[in-house]
Structure 1
Amino acid sequence: MQTGAIADTFGNIENLVTLTSGQYTMGSLILMVSYGAHFAFIIYFLTSSLQLAPRYRIVPVLSAVVMASAGLSLLREFTTWQAAYTLIGGQYVPATDGESFTNAYRYGNWTITVPLLLSQLPIAFGLARSVTHKKIIRMSIPALLMIWTGLMGQFGETGDFARLNLWGVISTVFFVWLIVEVRGVITAGIANSPVEIKAWPANLWWYFLATWGLYPIAYALPQLGASGDVVVVRQLLFSIADISSKLLYGIILSRYVLRRSALEGYVPAAEALETTAIGAKAASARGD
């Protein structure tokens, strides 16, 4: 079979690699922890929104939506992973008459969740509504182009590396565009943040680069060879990136807007932070 035909037929290297029992179990565990973690934090984000000033409540609510969407996608990845292999002689062999594994579900989920994640930034930073709308559009366009071009390229990972790398470069161009737009929002966020919490958006910039930078590594990894270790490490990198860029990112923003709400005099937020310096300052400001 020609290389291009292999790519079109199998799509992802998981469908070409026989896994040991340990590799299969590790892949299953990675996916299970991933979808479980996202589902578990839906309630956390919904309840944390109750402590925030009304203008910021949408931030953790959007995180809850992201958790639900990502959890469902990763659950689908988990069930597909289980259906894609058959246990033969102590090893897990790609099924020939069942469901093929694909990472395309991740790209479909990112199409939904990434614009939502980006939308949280200008809202959390308290930017004017007109500015917020413009910033969301300007970030979402390169983000979606980055995702869709990456999707086009990942079907070349089974041997058509020219396709993988060509679309990977194109996707990287859109990623650079995206980080320029995100940097502009974060710069505005630093300028618009109370002095006590200006470090939060500044640190968030480096966190953004570190966590989103895992995705291109996972994307390019199949070029090291179609092996069980590469399959498992790639699922691990994708899952670490998903958890850190969605779940942990959502927690960071939720804590930031909680402090911002307290500093702006919102009583439930101040009460939630009563043991902190910010909570004490907010309590003092309201005469408690």
Structure 2
Amino acid sequence: MNNLSELLTDTQFNIVFNMLSLGIASMLFTTFFLVLARDRVLPRYRLAVLISATVTGIAAYHYFRMFDSFNHAFSTLDGAVNNAAVYNVGYRYVDWFLTVPLLLVETVAVLALTRQLQGSLLKRLVPAAALMILLGYPGDAKIDLWGITAGWWGLFSTIPFLYIMYVLFVELGKSFVRQSAPVRKKLQLLRILLIATWGFYPITFILAMNSDGFSPDSFVAREVGYTIADILAKCLFGLLIFSIARMKSAEDDAEFAKTEFRD
């Protein structure tokens, strides 16, 4: 039994412990699969698959770090400090700062657009994604920066988020007419998954806001919510990218389709 009556109950501790463990397993084995399966698509689509593997690989590393930080902060075993302030929420934001722009890069890469159009989209999407993460961190970590409250940081972070949604749904959507009907259907699903999972982050952020300091219930809600959103936004998203790459490879090369999709 963990003596955590001051902070987390045993049940709360185990919920977060198991969710972080699920995050590690999901990210790690999705990475293995994508790396091993990269040759099952044509060379022009392999970059998108490898970027997907990079995203989940980076996330797996940071989930290991969060798991270790959580145990150090909340478990009373092995000399841990049993202090909520020690838990490093920054690991999530370093992870997102690296992986969120890469998620957008893989989305653009799998479409195999012209170099000019790819460059134009990424020059807008990548900086906006980085800004969204940077603005969200002070609010989630409850850092007293320039006297701005957590709610304002969340609002500031929403502005680049909305811009990214505009580019994905309006600007990038214009390129969908060049895709086949089956690929368009998958791309629509990809965008819905993106907005659903990304929209889940601010909901979790708002639910976890607590001006009175540490709240066990809010902490558990935040960690569970963020982990579920991460698994969907990175693992499931990466597998969808792989599926689209396979589909487009089959459309581009009849021999590939005959070899890979034999009845």
Same fold (TM over 0.5): yes
Amino acid at match of 1:115: P
Structure 1 distance, partners of 2:148, 2:244, is: 43
Amino acid at match of 2:179: S
Structure 2 distance, partners of 1:267, 1:57, is: 17
Normalising by the residue count of structure 2, what TM-score does the alignment of the two structures yield? 0.88
Amino acid at match of 1:150: G
**Partner SS state of residue 84, structure 1:** helix
- CA drift of 1:86 comes to 4.2
Q: 1:101 to 1:188 in 2, by over 3 A?
A: same
Alignment partner of 2:67 out of 75, 78, 84? 78
Q: Which runs of 4+ in 1 moved over 4 A?
A: none
The 5 Å alignment of 1:26-175 reads: 26-87=15-76, 94-95=82-83, 100-156=86-142, 163-175=149-161
Amino acid at match of 2:253: G
- CA drift of 1:184 comes to 3.4
Structure 1 distance, partners of 2:131, 2:17, is: 30
1:20 and 2:6 matched: no
Residue number in structure 2 paired with 1:260: 248
The C-alpha deviation readout for 1:54-75, integer Å capped at 9, x for no partner, is 1101111111111111000111
Alignment partner of 1:176 out of 117, 141, 162? 162
Whether the 8 Å CA contact 1:122–1:185 is kept in 2: the answer is no
**Partner SS state of residue 126, structure 1:** coil
- CA drift of 1:251 comes to 0.4
**Partner SS state of residue 39, structure 2:** helix
Amino acid at match of 1:47: L
Whether the 8 Å CA contact 1:51–1:268 is kept in 2: the answer is no
How many residue pairs align between the two structures?
A: 253
Structure 1 distance, partners of 2:256, 2:35, is: 15
**Partner SS state of residue 94, structure 1:** coil
Normalising by the residue count of structure 1, what TM-score does the alignment of the two structures yield? 0.81
Residue number in structure 2 paired with 1:251: 239
Q: 1:165 to 1:214 in 2, by over 3 A?
A: same
Query: Equivalent pairs: percent with the same residue?
Result: 25
- Greater Rg, structure 1 or structure 2? 1
